[in-house]
Amino acid sequence: MVERANKPKTLSSTPALPPQATVTFSDDNSRVIAELPTGERVEVLLYGATVISWKDASGDEKLWLSEAAKLDGSKAVRGGIPLVFPVFGSVPDHLKTKDLPQHGFARTSRWEFLGKSTSESLEGETTNDPSVKLDFGLSSGAPGLDPKAAAHWPYKFNLIYSVTLNRESLTTNILATNDDSQSFECHVLLHTYLRVNDITAVSVTGLGGAQYVDKVDSAKTKTQPTEGPLTITGETDRVYTPAENTVTVSEGSTEKYRVTRDKFSNVVVWNPWIDKAEGLADFAPKDGYRQMLCIEPGTVDSWQTVEAGDALAGAQTISLVG
In a domain, 227, yes or no: no
Residue 7 has pLDDT above 90, yes or no: no
In a domain, 36, yes or no: yes
* CATH code (residue 265): 2.70.98.10
In a domain, 43, yes or no: yes
In a domain, 238, yes or no: no
In a domain, 171, yes or no: yes
pLDDT, the chain, mean: 93
Residue 234: φ, ψ to 5° = -175, -175
For 289-311, the pLDDT digits (tens) are 999 999 999 999 999 999 999 99
Residue 236 has pLDDT above 90, yes or no: yes
Bigger pLDDT: 224 vs 7: 224
38, amino acid identity: T
Catalytic site residue from 40, 103, 120, 191? 191
Among the listed residues 147, 153, 157, the one whose alpha carbon sits nearest the alpha carbon of residue 179: 157
For 165-211, the pLDDT digits (tens) are 999 999 999 999 999 999 999 999 999 999 999 999 999 999 999 99
Residue 15 has pLDDT above 60, yes or no: no
| Res 73: pLDDT | 95
- Please, is 146 exposed, middle or buried when counting C-beta atoms within 10 Å of its C-beta (0-12, 13-18, 19+)? buried
Task: Tell me the pLDDT band of 16, cut-offs 50, 70 and 90.
Answer: low
| Res 126: pLDDT | 36
Percent pLDDT > 70 in the chain is: 92
Would the annotation count 110 as a binding residue?
Answer: no
| Res 20: pLDDT | 87
Facing residues of 34 across strands?
Answer: 23, 42
In a domain, 100, yes or no: yes
Residue 47 has pLDDT above 70, yes or no: yes
Q: In terms of residue numbers, what domain contains 65?
A: 22-121+128-197+259-320
Predicted structure pTM score: 0.92
Task: Tell me the pLDDT band of 18, cut-offs 50, 70 and 90.
Answer: confident
Residue 123 has pLDDT above 80, yes or no: no
The average pLDDT across 26-50 equals 97
Would the annotation count 316 as a binding residue?
Answer: no
Active site residue 296: yes
Bigger pLDDT: 132 vs 123: 132
Would the annotation count 195 as a binding residue?
Answer: no
Q: How big is the CA angle at 316 (ends 133 and 49), to the nearest 5 degrees?
A: 55
In a domain, 219, yes or no: no
Residue 2 has pLDDT above 70, yes or no: no
In a domain, 264, yes or no: yes
Considering its fold, how many domains does the chain have in total?
1
| Res 121: pLDDT | 40
CB contact at 8 A, 239 and 266? yes
Active site residue 125: no
For 244-259, the pLDDT digits (tens) are 999 999 999 999 999 9
Q: Over the chain, what HEC string results? A: CCCCCCCCCCCCCCCCCCCCCEEEECCCCCEEEEECCCCCEEEEECECCEEEEEECCCCCECECECCCCCCCCCCCCCECECEEECCCCCCCCCCCCCCCCCCECHHHCECEEEEEEEECCCCCCCCCCCEEEEEEEEECCCCCCCHHHHHHCCCCEEEEEEEEECCCEEEEEEEEEECCCCCEEEEEEECCEEECCCHHHEEEECCCCCEEEECCCCCEEEECCCCCCEECCCCEEEEEECCCCEEEEEECCEEEEEEEEECCCEEEEEECHHHHHHHCCCCCCHHHHHHEEEEEEEEEEEEEEECCCCEEEEEEEEEECC
Catalytic site residue from 40, 43, 120, 296? 296
Task: Tell me the pLDDT band of 150, cut-offs 50, 70 and 90.
Answer: confident
